[in-house]
Amino acid sequence: YTSDAYPNVKRNPNFAELSADDVAHFKELLGSQSAVIDGVTTDATDDIEPFNSDWMRKYRGHTRLVLKPKDAQEVSKVLKYCNERKLAVVPQGGNTGLVGGSVPVFDEIVINTSRMNQIRSFDAASGVLVADAGVILEVADQYLAEREHLFPLDLGAKGSCHIGGNVSTNAGGLRLLRYGSLHGSVLGLEAVLPDGTVVDALSTLRKNNTGYDLKQLFIGSEGTIGLVTAVAIQCPPRPKAVNVAYFGLESFEQVQQAYLAAKGQLSEILSAFELMDGRSQKLVIESTGNKHPLEGEYPFYCLVETSGSNAEHDMEKLESFLENVMGEGIVADGVLAQDETQFQALWRWREGITESLSHLGGTYKYDVSIPLADLYQLVEDCKARLTEKGFVGDDDSFPVRAVVGYGHMGDSNLHLNVAVRQYNKEVEKAIEPWVYEWIQKRQGSISAEHGLGVAKREFIGYSQNETMVKLMKQLKNLYDPNGIMNPYKYI
């Protein structure tokens, strides 16, 4: 059978169907409180629906079993059994992924990491944290805050996403500009392969050139070759002084000038440079009712954050940066946070966009890397195309409610979001594959940080050549010969 959400995808008949005996086996293995069951045996437990549908409510699977192992040994037993029985599985962390990768397509068993939630160790001298995959990002960061350190990744979903999920998607987030990618900060990890092998690559060393760096394969592979059970990560000292400025600009040309000025003038204390267009900020006003921090309206807004060790010195630098860019007519108006409350409030104008969009209905999301000069042109071109096709207009009869652009300017990473009243195949066909062709022409990436999951499974060829895709398939077959790990997704 095919799944309603994925009309072109057929269930792989080589996979077994879950039986009452399988469920009894798993309950015996993990204890009954570690399983959410629906419809396989008579003892339906908790609500299984949240594990079947994704954050955007766009993708929905039909699992009847969710397992919550508590450590790598339990994961190993579960996967070994699934591999022998050819039962397909989906690793799942906080289920905040935005490409439909964390939910089943058909009846795959969900292996959820929420019970693997212990911090194993922290060494203040090296700054290395070792923690289970199911630790929530914000919990890890709080733990580090108490020890004057910082998790080198921050993103809007921090209250729900798991660090194992972050590593598996190679999440980028709001401060990649400063702290780099997880490919650099993850020093080691522990993972379980489908045949039950526990890969102990939990090195805490900063330097380790002893052959292939195999842990890198798990970073960003979206649960397709194994399940990550623990992570060792390099954490920087928590900056003593953090400041933020929020400003309005009249053109994208000026946004680029402001970015160059911020890099030049704020240099080592610059920790984020984020872009929001006017439409995205209007959506935040509409959904939160909050008063906008600037009086006038601008087509573009930027948020600049500095992190350093001397509040006075940093504030002085940030003030003089703002004076300069305003004096030169690059920035039209701006504010600086004066206290922690204002700091949080200004960040919410950026972090709250995804949430605000989610109230409008459905959202088509394109998370792209393109050279900086062209970054915003994609939003303009997309809007023009959808308008020309008659999808954008002022009243409720038009399917598109908003075309917005925002993102991590400092990483050349744009989020183009097209909000629709409800998911609409005609609108989707007008955007795809046009958007991917647009990106390919500029040698960009069709997924800068969210991954491919099921949403972009057809489109990998726009960013990877045939040789690369072939090598990926060979690796997949080596690690997962029965193909039970997160099937129907990008590989």
Query: In degrees rounded to 5, what are phi and psi of residue 37?
Result: -125, 145
**Count of C-beta atoms within a 10 Å radius of residue 206:** 10
Among ligand FAD, ligand 2HG, none, what binds residue 486 when CB lies within 5 to 8 Å by partner kind? ligand FAD
Among ligand 2HG, ligand FAD, none, what binds residue 417 when CB lies within 5 to 8 Å by partner kind? ligand 2HG
Is residue 63 a contact partner of residue 109, using CB atoms and an 8 Å limit?
A: yes
Nearer to ligand 2HG, 98 or 452 (CB): 98
Among ligand 2HG, ligand FAD, none, what binds residue 165 when CB lies within 5 to 8 Å by partner kind? ligand FAD
Q: How far apart are CA 290 and CA 333, in angstroms?
A: 19
417 part of the interface to ligand FAD, by CB under 6 A = no
106 part of the interface to ligand FAD, by CB under 6 A = no
Tokens read off for 324: 């300069």
- CA 59, distance to chain mean position in Å, is 16
∠ CA 256-170-5 to the nearest 5 degrees?
A: 100
Applying CB under 6 A, which of residues 76, 369, 417, 447 lies at the interface with ligand 2HG? 417
166 part of the interface to ligand FAD, by CB under 6 A = yes
Residues 6+ apart with CB under 8 A from 219: 167, 168, 170, 182, 183, 186, 189
Shortest Å, Cβ 284 to ligand 2HG: 12
Letters for 343-362 (x = contact with ligand 2HG by CB under 6 A, - = none) are -----------x--------
Among ligand 2HG, ligand FAD, none, what binds residue 92 when CB lies within 5 to 8 Å by partner kind? ligand FAD
93 part of the interface to ligand FAD, by CB under 6 A = yes
For residue 196, count CB atoms less than 10 angstroms from its CB and return exposed for 0-12, middle for 13-18, buried for 19 or more.
Answer: middle
Applying CB under 6 A, which of residues 34, 52, 83, 113 lies at the interface with ligand FAD? 113
Shortest Å, Cβ 222 to ligand 2HG: 15
∠ CA 356-361-365 to the nearest 5 degrees?
A: 70
Among ligand FAD, ligand 2HG, none, what binds residue 415 when CB lies within 5 to 8 Å by partner kind? ligand 2HG
Number of residues in contact with ligand FAD, rule: CB under 6 A? 38
Ramachandran sector of residue 160 (left: φ over 0; alpha: ψ -120 to 50; beta: rest): alpha
Shortest Å, Cβ 347 to ligand 2HG: 11
Q: How far apart are CA 17 and CA 184, in angstroms?
A: 40
Question: CA separation (Å) from 266 to 211, 306, 317, 459?
Answer: 39, 8, 7, 38
Nearer to ligand FAD, 133 or 283 (CB): 133
Q: How far apart are CA 177 and CA 410, in angstroms?
A: 6
Shortest Å, Cβ 180 to ligand FAD: 13
Shortest Å, Cβ 164 to ligand FAD: 3
Applying CB under 6 A, which of residues 101, 104, 239, 405 lies at the interface with ligand FAD? 101
ω into 50 cis (within 30 of 0): no
Is residue 236 a contact partner of residue 127, using CB atoms and an 8 Å limit?
A: yes
Is residue 226 a contact partner of residue 298, using CB atoms and an 8 Å limit?
A: no
Nearer to ligand 2HG, 196 or 361 (CB): 361
Shortest Å, Cβ 126 to ligand FAD: 24
Letters for 118-157 (x = contact with ligand FAD by CB under 6 A, - = none) are ---------------x---------------------xxx
Strand order in 198-201's β-sheet?
119-123, 128-132, 227-234, 186-192, 198-201
Among ligand 2HG, ligand FAD, none, what binds residue 75 when CB lies within 5 to 8 Å by partner kind? none
Of 231, 216, 235, give the one whose Cα is nearest residue 128.
235
Residues 6+ apart with CB under 8 A from 272: 174, 175, 177, 178, 303, 304, 305, 410
The span of 17-25, 141-149, 169-177, 285-293 binding ligand FAD (CB under 6 A) equals 169-177
Applying CB under 6 A, which of residues 178, 215, 415, 489 lies at the interface with ligand 2HG? 415
424-483: contacts with ligand FAD (CB under 6 A): 449-450, 453
Applying CB under 6 A, which of residues 61, 91, 127, 405 lies at the interface with ligand FAD? 91
280 part of the interface to ligand 2HG, by CB under 6 A = no
Name the closest residue to ligand FAD (Cβ): 165
3-state SS class at 68:
coil
168 part of the interface to ligand FAD, by CB under 6 A = yes
Contact positions vs ligand FAD (CB under 6 A): 55, 90-98, 101-102, 113, 133, 155-157, 161-162, 164-166, 168-169, 171-174, 222-223, 227-228, 354-355, 449-450, 453, 486
Contact positions vs ligand 2HG (CB under 6 A): 98, 156, 354, 365, 367, 407, 415, 417
